[in-house]
Amino acid sequence: MAPKKAVKEEKILLGRPGNNLKSGIVGLANVGKSTLFQAITKCSLGNPANFPFATIDPEESRVLVPDERYDWLCEKYQPKSRVPAHLTIYDIAGLTRGASTGAGLGNAFLSHIRAVDAIFQVVRCFDDAEIIHIEGDVDPVRDLTIISEELRIKDIEFVEKALEASKKLTRRGGQSLEMKKLKEEEACIERVLDFLKAGGDIRKGEWSPKEVEFINPLFLLSAKPVIYLINLSEKDYVRKKNKHLPRVMEWIKENAAGDPVMPISICLEERLSRFETEEEVKKELETLGVQSALPKAITTMRKALNLGSFFTTGTDEVRQWTIRNGTKAPQAAGVIHGDFEKTFIQAIVYNFSTLKELGDESELKAKGKIMTKGKEYVVQDGDILLIKAGAAKA
C-alpha cells in the first residue's frame, strides 16, 4: 500500500484577512512622522510642528504604488482609463514614554495603531537644535526601546483581559466540542501572555495555524509587521554615514531580527516634494548622487503586508488590483465586483512576465501560454485575468 501523502498544513497569516490593508506611521513625538506623511502622500494633510502631539487625530491618505509592470501595460495599450494600485497610510500621533498607562495621548494613540495592519516606525537619527526631542536628546536606541516596551505593555494588558474573559467561560466545565475549543483558546492565550512577559513580540513567535486563529481577533500591536525608517539628515543620507547607525542596527539585530530597515532623509524627501516636476526631482537626485527612499518604502510595506497584484488590461482600461498573496481566483474576482465571487465560472489567465517576453496575446495563444483556470486556482503576483462569471441573482 502506498504511503499516505502528508497533509500540508495551510499557513495562516497573523493579522486581519482581506485585501484593503492599512499601514500607519509611528514613532515618538518630533521624529519626522507628519513630514514623512506629507512627502510620501504628496498632500498637505498632517501637521508637522516643533512641539509634541501636533497630530492628534490620525490623517489618512492613499499612496500610488510604483510598479514598472503597470507602466509597461499602460504604454502598450494606451488605455482611455488608467487605475494604478494604492496603499492606504495613516499619520498617527507621537508616542511618549508611559503611553501604555495613558500618558500623553496614550490610549487614543494605541487604539489608532490597533486599527492599522502594519507599521512604518520612524527613528530619529539626526541632530537639530531647532527641533526639540521629547526625551531631551537624540538617542535612537532609547527611543526604539520605549516604543517596543510601550506596545508590549499594552499587549499584555489586552491579553490579560482576554484571558480573564476566557476563564469565565471555561469555569463552567463540560466535555462538549465548544468547551474543548474554549480550553484550547485559553491555553493559547496563556502561551501568548508568557511570550509577551518574557519580552517577545508576537510577530517573532512560532505559532501554529490554530493558534494564529486565536491570536488574530486580539489585534495585538506587537503582531503587526514593522518597517524601520531611520531618519537621517540630508548630509548623512548623501554620504551614507551616521554616528547612531551602528547602535541602531545592533538593537534591531537583537530585538527585531528580520524586520526591514531603511535609511531615509525625510527632510530631503520633503524638499523634493516641493519641486514642480518629476524632471526637476530627477535632476536634483542625480546631482546629489542618491535615490529617493519613498518608492522602496512603499513596495517594502506591500511585501510586509503580503500583498500582490493582478491586472485587467485593454484599450478601455488598464487597472492594477491589490490582493493578499495566496488568494484564489473567485476571491480575486470579488475584488473587481462582489457579484463576481458568487457567480464565478472561470478565469482566463496569463502572467505579465510571459506577455512582456512574447510581446502580444496572439503569440501567447500560439505558444499555449493562455490558461483557463477554475475555482481552486491561486492567483499569482503579476497575473493578467479575464474573469468569466454568470448573471447575478436578483
Question: Which residues contribute to the annotated binding site for ATP?
Answer: 30-35, 232
Task: Tell the residue number behind the cell numbers 501567447, with chain if given.
Answer: 364
Please check whether residue 286 is in contact with residue 56, taking contact to mean a CB–CB distance below 8 angstroms.
no
Question: Cβ atoms within 10 A of the Cβ of 344, count?
Answer: 21
CA 193 to each of CA 158, 196, 198, 254, 364: distance values in angstroms, whole numbers, following the listed order: 9, 5, 9, 21, 54
Amino acid residing at 64: L
- DSSP letters spanning 98-152: TGGGT-TTHHHHHHHHHTSSEEEEEEE----TTS--TTSS--HHHHHHHHHHHHH
CA dihedral for 373, 379, 383, 389, sign (positive or negative): positive
User: CA-CA distance, 281 to 273, in Å (whole number)?
Assistant: 8
Q: Yes or no: say if 333 and 341 are a contact pair by the CB < 8 Å rule.
A: yes
* Binding-site residue positions: 30-35, 232
Q: DSSP per residue over 230-292, as a string?
A: EE--HHHHHHT--TTHHHHHHHHHHHSTTS-EEEE-HHHHHHHHTSSSHHHHHHHHHHHT---
